[in-house]
């Protein structure tokens, strides 16, 4: 007799069936048949609009959930198809909730998208930083600390240079300082974990705690005296491309770190998979001894990658203080460095996957803010939980098991 075994996918599938049935039977009849949500694609009268009947939309999504869940329960033959369907269903929850929340009102979809991309930027940068480091076999849970230090010292630089130099010049130098600060923090991580072979988690924790202490000291000591007028990096409109309908305003009228993030994602992808350095990095992260026996300097490769990781994390820090807020607050990175690690794992240590993960978290954060604007009768604290709940659901296994680089966390010791 074959034993019946419950796999994680079955649990998820049942969750889908139950949620779907609840949407169909419990939620969708509550909306009057003529109630609609208007989705606007842009601002102003001329912007294209789409009116969705709320009840029927929920009915359709609910039916899709039930179908996806049943497919997941149908057996191994449909496993791949079912997983895909369920992941799509998981993503569908966001627009669905938006439509339900905005029932009877109008909401701007483009603003939503723009916000998601913007809020996803530091997460994507953190994920890219994590990939550089971890692909070479060094765990980096210190991205949060590197970002925080970058944000703090970047802004401190602007605080002192802003009056003496032209604003844009001062901002540019400040961003560079943020980047270098991240790199220096990373070198500390490198010295501790590569040279002295400290446990990489411990070393990362040390850096996170160090960053919290140093940055709040710097703020209290130097940044409280005057207000620097909240200057941020200027928006750059890319000629022609920003004129494009829909995508133009979303993608091509933005700030420099936002653009750099996309360039870094593409660059990281090419370097990691199509160049000599990338091949060596992957080999060192998977099987450092094999790399050593063909004459690759494992220690050097790891140091370089950890350093680059820090530079990128520092740029992510500059996003908070110099591109977005124009100031520095204690703990202003607010756990984004850790969410970035989740995005990296979600993307299975690939740059494009990491970007996708970052955008998912960015979207859920944007949605949290949007709920507040729409005046959902829930305490805002609950809505701000959304991105973290999504993090947990995603990591609990909706995407399947992500396999980290094999040699991750293991200090390399050359035999002598």
Partner 1 sequence: MAWLHPGAAAQIQVTGDDAVNAQEPPALEVRGITKRFPGVLANDHIDLTLRRGEIHALLGENGAGKTTLMNIIYGLYRPDEGEIYVHGRRAEIHSPNDAIRLGIGMVHQHFMLVPTLTVTENIILGHEVTRGVLLDHRRARARIQKLSRQYGLLVDPDAYVQDISVGHQQRVEIIKALYRQAEILILDEPTAVLTPQEAEDLFAVMRSLASQGKSIIFITHKLKEVLAVADRISVLRAGRLVGTTTPAEADEASLAAMMVGREVVLSVAKAPAHPGEEVLRVENLRVLDDRGLPAVNGISLSVRAGEIVGIAGVQGNGQTELVEALTGLRRPETGRILVTGQDVTGKPPRLITETGTAHVPEDRQRNGMVAAYTVADNLVLNTYYKPPFARGLVRDEHQVAAFARRLVKAFDIRTPDIYAQAHTLSGGNQQKMIVAREFSRPISLLIASQPTRGIDVGAIEFIHQQIVGLRDQGVAVLLVSAELDEIMALSDRIAVMYRGELIAEMPAAEATREQLGLLMAGVRHEEEFVHKMGTTVPVEAEDG
Q: Which residues bind partner 1 (CB under 8 A)?
A: 2-3, 270, 274-276, 279-280, 282-283, 286-287, 289-296, 406, 415-416
Residue number, 225 or 416, with CB nearest to partner 1: 416
Residue number, 1 or 392, with CB nearest to partner 1: 1
225 by Cβ neighbours in 10 Å (0-12 / 13-18 / 19+) ranks as exposed
Phi/psi for 74 (5° steps) reads -70, -15
> Taking the complex as a whole, how short is the minimal distance between the CB of residue 275 and partner 1, in angstroms?
6
CB 318 within 8 A of CB 178: yes
Residue number, 230 or 276, with CB nearest to partner 1: 276
Q: What is the DSSP letter of 241?
A: G
CB 292 within 8 A of CB 301: no
What stretches of 136-233 show up as alpha helix (H) in DSSP?
143-161, 167-190, 200-218
> Taking the complex as a whole, how short is the minimal distance between the CB of residue 278 and partner 1, in angstroms?
8
> Taking the complex as a whole, how short is the minimal distance between the CB of residue 330 and partner 1, in angstroms?
41
> Taking the complex as a whole, how short is the minimal distance between the CB of residue 3 and partner 1, in angstroms?
7
Say how many C-beta atoms besides its own lie within 10 A of residue 114's C-beta: 17
Residue number, 93 or 279, with CB nearest to partner 1: 279
Q: At 16, is the secondary structure helix, strand, or coil?
A: helix
β-pairing, 106-108 vs 49-53, is unpaired
Residue number, 39 or 291, with CB nearest to partner 1: 291
Q: At 37, is the secondary structure helix, strand, or coil?
A: strand
**CA trace torsion 92, 370, 37, 32 (10° rounding):** 90
Residue number, 137 or 150, with CB nearest to partner 1: 137
Q: Is the sign of the CA dihedral 343, 107, 373, 380 positive or negative? A: negative
> Taking the complex as a whole, how short is the minimal distance between the CB of residue 403 and partner 1, in angstroms?
9
> Taking the complex as a whole, how short is the minimal distance between the CB of residue 297 and partner 1, in angstroms?
9
**CA trace torsion 179, 180, 186, 192 (10° rounding):** -170
Residue number, 95 or 404, with CB nearest to partner 1: 404
Residue number, 224 or 403, with CB nearest to partner 1: 403
Q: At 236, is the secondary structure helix, strand, or coil?
A: strand
Cα separation, 232 vs 274, whole angstroms: 36
Cα separation, 181 vs 314, whole angstroms: 6
Cα separation, 337 vs 350, whole angstroms: 17
Residue number, 168 or 275, with CB nearest to partner 1: 275
> Taking the complex as a whole, how short is the minimal distance between the CB of residue 279 and partner 1, in angstroms?
6
> Taking the complex as a whole, how short is the minimal distance between the CB of residue 276 and partner 1, in angstroms?
4
> Taking the complex as a whole, how short is the minimal distance between the CB of residue 302 and partner 1, in angstroms?
15
β-pairing, 36-40 vs 106-108, is parallel
């Amino acid at each position: 007799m074959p034993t019946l075994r419950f796999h994680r996918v079955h649990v998820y599938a049942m969750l889908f069936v139950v949620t779907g049935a609840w949407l169909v039977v419990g939620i969708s009849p509550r909306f009057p048949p003529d109630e609609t949500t208007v989705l606007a694609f842009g601002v102003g009268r001329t912007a294209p609009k789409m009116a969705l009947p709320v009840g029927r939309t929920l009915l359709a999504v609910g039916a899709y959930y039930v179908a996806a869940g049943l497919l997941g329960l149908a057996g191994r033959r449909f496993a791949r198809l079912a997983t895909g369907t369920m992941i799509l269903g998981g993503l569908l929850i966001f627009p669905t909730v938006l439509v339900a929340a905005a029932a009877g009102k109008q909401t701007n979809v483009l603003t939503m998208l723009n916000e998601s991309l913007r809020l996803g930027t530091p997460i994507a940068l953190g994920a890219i930083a994590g990939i550089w480091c971890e692909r070479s076999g060094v765990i980096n849970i210190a991205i949060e600390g590197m970002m925080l230090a970058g944000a703090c010292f970047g802004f401190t630089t602007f605080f002192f240079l802003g009056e003496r130099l032209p604003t844009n010049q001062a901002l540019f130098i400040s961003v560079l300082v943020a980047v270098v600060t991240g790199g220096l923090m990373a070198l500390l991580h490198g010295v501790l974990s590569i040279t002295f072979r400290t446990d990489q988690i411990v070393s990362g924790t040390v850096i996170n705690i160090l960053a919290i202490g140093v940055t709040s000291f710097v703020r209290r000591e130097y940044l409280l005296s005057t207000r620097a007028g909240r200057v941020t990096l200027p928006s750059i409109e890319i000629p022609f491309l920003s004129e494009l309908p829909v995508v133009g305003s979303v993608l091509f009228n933005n700030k420099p770190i936002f653009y750099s993030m996309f360039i870094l994602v593409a660059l990281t992808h090419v370097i990691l998979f199509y160049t000599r350095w990338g091949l060596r990095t992957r080999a060192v992260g998977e099987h450092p001894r094999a790399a050593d026996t063909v004459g690759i300097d494992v220690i050097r490769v790891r140091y370089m990658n950890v350093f680059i990781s820090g530079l990128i994390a520092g740029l992510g820090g500059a996003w908070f203080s110099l591109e977005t807020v124009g100031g520095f607050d204690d703990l202003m990175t607010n756990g984004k460095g850790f969410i970035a690690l989740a995005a990296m794992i979600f993307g299975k240590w690939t740059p494009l996957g990491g970007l996708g993960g970052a955008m998912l978290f960015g979207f859920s954060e944007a949605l949290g803010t949007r709920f507040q604007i729409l005046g959902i009768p829930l305490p805002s604290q609950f809505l701000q939980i959304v991105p973290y709940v999504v993090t947990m659901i995603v990591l609990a296994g909706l995407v399947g098991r992500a396999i980290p680089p094999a040699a991750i966390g293991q200090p390399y010791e050359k035999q002598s």
